[in-house]
Amino acid sequence: MAKYWLLLLLLLLAFLLPAAHAKSCHPDDLCALRGFAGNLGGGGALLRAAWSGASCCRWEGVGCDSSNGRVTVLRLPRYGLAGPIPGASLAGLVQLEELFLGSNSFVGSLPKELFSLAGLRKLSLESNELTGKLSSRLGKLKNLTLLNLSVNRFFGRLPDVFGDLTSLDHLAMYSNGLSGSLPPSLSSLSSLCELNLRNNSLSGLISHVNFSGMPLLASVDFSANNLSGSLPVSLVDCSALKSLTLANNQLVGTIPSWIGELDNLRCLDISNNSLVGEVPKGLSCLEGLTAVDNSAGMAFTNMPLYVKHNRRALQQQANVISGNNNTVRSGGGNVLSGDNNTVISGNNNTLSGTNNTVVFGSNNVLTGSNHVVSGSNNVVSDTGHVVNGSSNTVSGRNNMVTGNNNTVSGSNHVVTGNNKVVTGG
Ligand SMILES: *[C@@H]1O[C@H](CO)[C@@H](O)[C@H](O)[C@H]1NC(C)=O
Ligand SMILES: *[C@@H]1O[C@H](CO)[C@@H](O)[C@H](O)[C@H]1NC(C)=O
Ligand SMILES: *[C@@H]1O[C@H](CO)[C@@H](O)[C@H](O)[C@H]1NC(C)=O
Ligand SMILES: *[C@@H]1O[C@H](CO)[C@@H](O)[C@H](O)[C@H]1NC(C)=O
Ligand SMILES: *[C@@H]1O[C@H](CO)[C@@H](O)[C@H](O)[C@H]1NC(C)=O
Ligand SMILES: *[C@@H]1O[C@H](CO)[C@@H](O)[C@H](O)[C@H]1NC(C)=O
Ligand SMILES: *[C@@H]1O[C@H](CO)[C@@H](O)[C@H](O)[C@H]1NC(C)=O
Ligand SMILES: *[C@@H]1O[C@H](CO)[C@@H](O)[C@H](O)[C@H]1NC(C)=O
Ligand SMILES: *[C@@H]1O[C@H](CO)[C@@H](O)[C@H](O)[C@H]1NC(C)=O
Ligand SMILES: *[C@@H]1O[C@H](CO)[C@@H](O)[C@H](O)[C@H]1NC(C)=O
Ligand SMILES: *[C@@H]1O[C@H](CO)[C@@H](O)[C@H](O)[C@H]1NC(C)=O
Ligand SMILES: *[C@@H]1O[C@H](CO)[C@@H](O)[C@H](O)[C@H]1NC(C)=O
């Protein structure tokens, strides 16, 4: 009998003094983790098999505070976990600080119990199939430094709760269906280094965010949304900014001279907006942009802007360019208006205005006057052009056409070369 009591006492001690042993976990957390695993579909069965015994601090993906045996970290990315996030069980991990469940197959919305984990510092749920509107209860997670909800199916407005999340340094919600305008409270994220809201349906003025109070901001990606307005001047205060990606929006206005004051800028993509006018002279100090290699992730489209006479190196993306003295290199499908523009090797551009020059480009459409064209397959109308390519269609008056296979109509042309079709006077 005495032996039996001794055994029971030992068992009791082992249970009551988990803190004495770094590897034992708090019974509440053990219970919560078992509940969590028990409710998982998909790879949950494998996880339940892996999580055997009661020493949960030794389980894979689990990290504890060794002083009290409380679970502080749960890191289970790419475990094939499926089903709704078992929020009620997670809420039992009252001292959880880091939750990484990315690249699984979780469905449903964020469980409301998640928002009771007030000690959370890092929450990363990217690349799942989570959906629903983002609750304003997000603002309860005041200690968050990292929030990554990217590549899910969240929709609706971003709640205006960032005034409560001022510890955030990384905020990523790209590739969801978020809509509505940018919440002004984003402006209060004074510790922010990375802000990525790419590929949503966000609309309204980009200047709803005041970037002035973000001295550490290194990377902003708002591309592929529906943001409007001009480039917010408050960005000039982000002296740490290395990468600014605002491509594929509805931004208007000029490319402002203060861009040239961003000394650390290495990647600038403002293509496929309706930014017009001249590239400011000040941009010559962005010469560093040209030196950057083409390593992965360096997507230059409207850039680099190594300016003497507003030269733009364009690739692929179509731009609307107006203003004077612009140079387009290798760009295609651009719409240019204004005067004295030069297109080098660009194809399928539409140019209007005067004194524009096309060198080696093909399939361009030019209207206006006094253009110099030496590409091929261009359609040139109006007056006073010098056309020196082949297979061009030229109409208008007073054009000088050399080269081959050109079709010329209109009057008063000077035509030399072979195989021309000439109609008119
Ligand atoms: C939030 O962080 C602060 C500072 O690190 C800490 O004192 C506080 O206990 C944390 N809040 C929670 C709910 O854990
Ligand atoms: C968000 O998750 C994606 C996918 O895992 C990752 O590439 C990205 O770096 C994460 N961003 C942040 C801020 O954690
Ligand atoms: C944009 O996000 C959607 C999901 O909302 C995704 O299906 C698509 O692949 C993303 N596109 C890009 C280019 O990342
Ligand atoms: C942006 O915030 C700064 C302070 O951080 C303030 O001085 C400035 O007036 C604000 N700009 C706008 C446009 O609200
Ligand atoms: C973008 O905004 C314009 C109006 O500014 C609207 O007509 C259009 O439907 C919007 N597109 C998307 C994809 O939200
Ligand atoms: C330009 O941006 C719009 C959205 O503003 C998008 O629908 C379109 O596909 C983009 N065009 C290119 C060539 O990327
Ligand atoms: C464009 O360049 C010409 C000389 O090449 C110069 O006379 C003219 O002022 C320039 N126009 C603008 C708007 O900078
Ligand atoms: C275009 O260039 C010519 C000289 O080549 C200059 O006289 C004229 O002012 C320029 N036009 C503009 C709008 O810059
Ligand atoms: C230009 O247009 C032609 C047909 O008109 C097409 O075959 C070619 O791919 C286009 N090139 C570019 C760069 O868009
Ligand atoms: C076009 O060039 C001529 C001289 O080369 C110049 O006199 C004229 O002002 C230019 N036109 C424009 C609109 O710049
Ligand atoms: C036209 O082509 C000839 C020979 O290819 C070249 O010598 C001449 O400079 C060209 N003229 C123009 C205006 O490009
Ligand atoms: C002009 O057309 C003839 C026959 O149609 C063809 O053989 C020749 O290659 C063409 N030349 C050019 C420069 O396109």
Ligand 1 centroid vs 147 CA: distance in angstroms?
A: 17
Domain count, the chain: 1
Ligand 6 atom nearest 272 alpha carbon: 1
Q: Is the beta carbon of 213 within 6 A of some atom in ligand 4?
A: yes
Ligand 5 atom nearest 226 alpha carbon: 1
What percentage of the chain exceeds 70 in pLDDT? 69
Residue in 94, 166, 176, 165 with CA at minimum distance from that of residue 136: 165
Q: How far apart are CA 59 and CA 50, in angstroms?
A: 7
What is the model's pLDDT at position 259?
Answer: 76
CB count within 10 Å of CB 215 equals: 14
Q: Is the beta carbon of 363 within 6 A of some atom in ligand 9?
A: yes
Phi, psi (deg, nearest 5) at residue 354:
-125, 160
The pLDDT-based confidence of 2 (bands split at 50, 70, 90) is low
Q: Is 80 exceeded by the pLDDT of residue 328? A: no
Q: How far apart are CA 376 and CA 360, in angstroms?
A: 7
**Atom 1 in ligand 10: residue holding the nearest Cα:** 355
Contact 112, 136 (CB under 8 A): no
Q: Is 50 exceeded by the pLDDT of residue 33? A: yes
What is the model's pLDDT at position 252?
Answer: 76
Which range among 138-142, 170-174, 244-248, 292-296 shows the weakest confidence by mean pLDDT? 292-296
Position 313 in a domain: no
Phi, psi (deg, nearest 5) at residue 213:
-95, 30
Q: Is 70 exceeded by the pLDDT of residue 300? A: no
For residue 8, the surrounding DSSP H or E stretch is helix 2-16
The boundaries of the domain holding residue 243 are 19-291
Ligand 7 atom nearest 340 alpha carbon: 1
How many helices and strands in the chain, by DSSP H and E? Answer: 5, 36
**Cβ within 8 Å of residue 45, ≥6 positions away:** none
Position 371 in a domain: no
Position 341 in a domain: no
Q: Is the beta carbon of 332 within 6 A of some atom in ligand 9?
A: yes
**Atom 14 in ligand 2: residue holding the nearest Cα:** 148
The closest ligand to the CA of 350 turns out to be: 9
Position 66 in a domain: yes
Q: Is the beta carbon of 177 within 6 A of some atom in ligand 5?
A: no
In terms of C-beta distances under 8 Å and separation of at least 24 residues, what long-range contacts does 182-185 make, across chains too?
Answer: 182/158, 182/206, 182/208, 182/209, 182/227, 183/157, 183/158, 183/159, 183/208, 184/160, 184/208, 184/209, 184/210, 185/160, 185/161
Contact 204, 181 (CB under 8 A): yes
Q: What is the DSSP letter of 315?
A: -
> Residue 142 belongs to a domain with what CATH number?
3.80.10.10
Ligand 11 centroid vs 239 CA: distance in angstroms?
A: 47
Contact 84, 130 (CB under 8 A): no
| Structure tokens given for 286 | 């962005």
Ligand 11 centroid vs 209 CA: distance in angstroms?
A: 52
Contact 386, 372 (CB under 8 A): yes
Ligand 6 centroid vs 273 CA: distance in angstroms?
A: 8
Q: Is the beta carbon of 340 within 6 A of some atom in ligand 1?
A: no
pLDDT averaged over every residue in the chain: 79
End-to-end CA distance of the chain: 124
What percentage of the chain exceeds 90 in pLDDT? 47
**Cβ within 8 Å of residue 81, ≥6 positions away:** 40, 41, 42, 43, 44, 47, 101, 104, 105, 106
Q: How far apart are CA 165 and CA 192, in angstroms?
A: 10
Cis peptide leading into 304, omega within 30 of 0?
A: yes
Position 84 in a domain: yes
Query: From residue 416, how far is each of 132, 224, 357, 421 by CA, in Å?
Result: 68, 48, 20, 11
Secondary-structure percent of the chain, ordered helix, strand, coil, rounded to 5: 20, 30, 50
Ligand 11 centroid vs 370 CA: distance in angstroms?
A: 16
| Structure tokens given for 54 | 């009661």
Q: How far apart are CA 307 and CA 281, in angstroms?
A: 7
Q: Which of 126, 175, 196 to mutate to test the pocket of ligand 3 (most atoms within 8 A of CB)?
A: 175
Position 263 in a domain: yes
For residue 401, the surrounding DSSP H or E stretch is strand 400-401
Contact 390, 405 (CB under 8 A): yes
Q: Coil, strand, or helix at residue 209?
A: coil
Position 181 in a domain: yes
Contact 323, 307 (CB under 8 A): no
Query: From residue 366, how far is each of 3, 300, 312, 390 by CA, in Å?
Result: 101, 27, 19, 15
Q: How far apart are CA 169 and CA 42, in angstroms?
A: 32
Q: Is the beta carbon of 201 within 6 A of some atom in ligand 5?
A: yes
Q: Is the beta carbon of 391 within 6 A of some atom in ligand 4?
A: no
Of residues 367 and 11, which shows the higher confidence score? 367
What are the start-end ranges of the H helices in 122-274? none
The pLDDT-based confidence of 304 (bands split at 50, 70, 90) is very low
The closest ligand to the CA of 416 turns out to be: 11
Ligand 9 centroid vs 106 CA: distance in angstroms?
A: 43
Q: Is 60 exceeded by the pLDDT of residue 284? A: no
For residue 65, the surrounding DSSP H or E stretch is strand 62-65
Position 350 in a domain: no
Ligand 11 atom nearest 386 alpha carbon: 13
Q: Coil, strand, or helix at residue 329?
A: strand
Of residues 294 and 9, which shows the higher confidence score? 9
Ligand 9 centroid vs 362 CA: distance in angstroms?
A: 9
Which range among 271-285, 336-350, 389-403 shows the weakest confidence by mean pLDDT? 271-285
Q: How far apart are CA 394 and CA 374, in angstroms?
A: 12
